[in-house]
Amino acid sequence: MSDRAAAPAAAPRTRVRLADVRRLFRLIGDIRQLGADPNVWRPHMAARLRKLFDAEIVISSEIHFRTAPSPAPGQTALRMIDIGWGIDRDQGAWRIETTRDNESPETYYLHVGQPTAAAPAAAPDASGEAGQLVPVVPARRVYGGTTFILSQYPLPHAAAVDQLGLHRAYGDKPFTSVDHRLVRMFHTELGRLWRRDALRRAKDPETALPPRLQQTLAELLAGSSEKQIALKLSLSRHTIHNYVKALHQRFGVSSRGELLARAGKERETFTPQLSMELPRDL
């Protein structure tokens, strides 16, 4: 038997490393490059976070409540809707789309917040029912311990909360306070994009462009001429010319060069979109 005593276990880190911060900010950049579709950027984000934090499971979803018909006459129940993605250690990704009636926000670590003028009505769900949005806010910003971290970020413009959960199996290396801080920092930086997007939405010229204008703009950005666009879309050159004039008015420009510069800049500063539909009158 060796006379040397067993080496003491290394103490957990208590300071955030710059290299870890850089990796998370690179992930933010990756998300912005993937496009706005949450069915693309959410599973990618979950997979990267699983590797960065050596987690067994990562869940990324948006959760919100709306009013729903109650079995009791004259009463109103609550319907919880959770939309997002999860991924496990075997790289198996699955889409989350859960709806439950008669649920309480407290079950999901949430409190009912104050109604907002920005989000008074919900978009219809799969059943065709709309109801009224019930604003929810996190009871706390982050929860968890050695095997679980849950970060919650408020989405006041959607009366909802974005949740980011990381899980480790029993017996795995425990999460540390540094892990908690890094997860929260990442979630906060991601949330800043949504906050800015909410403020810019009404001013964004590409918001709610009719399909033909979207197609015309995409072709212009790809370098097509009006004649080429007309042939590709099976429309007259006169119609395409009118579409281009409509785009000039929408973007507040007077030439094709200005249009391409303005539209290109808007796309470069894109922000990832949320999974759930925003209120109709936002």
Closest CA to 188 of 139, 236, 153: 153
Region of poorest pLDDT, from 64-68, 69-73, 151-155, 203-207: 203-207
Longest dimension (CA), the chain: 92
Mean predicted confidence (pLDDT) in 194-203 = 57
Confidence (pLDDT) at 10: 59
Structure tokens at 83: 């939309």
Please count the CA atoms within 13 angstroms of the CA of 250 that sit on its side-chain side: 23
Confidence (pLDDT) at 149: 97
Structure tokens at 158: 């959607």
Mean predicted confidence (pLDDT) in 192-197 = 72
Give per-residue pLDDT as tens, 213-241.
Answer: 888 888 888 889 999 999 999 999 999 99
Confidence (pLDDT) at 278: 58
Give per-residue pLDDT as tens, 154-191.
Answer: 988 788 999 999 999 988 999 999 999 999 999 999 99
- Mapped onto helix, strand or coil, the DSSP state of residue 2 is coil
**Residue 196 clears pLDDT 60, i.e. is over it:** no
Confidence (pLDDT) at 125: 57
Mean predicted confidence (pLDDT) in 195-214 = 62
Mean predicted confidence (pLDDT) in 241-245 = 90
Q: One-letter amino acid identity for 111?
A: H
Q: Count CB neighbours of 181 within 10 A.
A: 15
**Rounded Cα gap, residues 269 and 272, in angstroms:** 10
What confidence category does residue 275 fall into, taking pLDDT thresholds of 50, 70 and 90? confident
Confidence (pLDDT) at 282: 43
Confidence (pLDDT) at 127: 54
**Rounded Cα gap, residues 51 and 211, in angstroms:** 39
Give per-residue pLDDT as tens, 112-134.
Answer: 987 655 445 555 555 556 678 89
Confidence (pLDDT) at 199: 47
**Rounded Cα gap, residues 209 and 18, in angstroms:** 42
CA 279 from centre of chain: 16
Fold of domain 205-268:
Arc Repressor Mutant, subunit A (1.10.10)
Domain assignments of the chain as residue spans, ordered by start: 18-202, 205-268
216/76: higher pLDDT = 216
- The mean pLDDT value of the chain amounts to 82
User: What dotted CATH number matches 18-202?
Assistant: 3.30.450
Closest CA to 140 of 166, 110, 106, 160: 110
- Mapped onto helix, strand or coil, the DSSP state of residue 126 is coil
**Residue 78 clears pLDDT 60, i.e. is over it:** yes
CA 30 from centre of chain: 14
**Strand ranges (E), 102-183:** 110-112, 133-134, 136-138, 142-144, 148-155, 160-167
DSSP 124: P
Closest CA to 248 of 237, 238, 239, 258: 258
Positive or negative CA dihedral for 125, 153, 183, 269? positive
Q: Count CB neighbours of 267 within 10 A.
A: 12
282/223: higher pLDDT = 223
Confidence (pLDDT) at 140: 92
pLDDT more than 90, % of the chain: 46
Q: One-letter amino acid identity for 44?
A: H
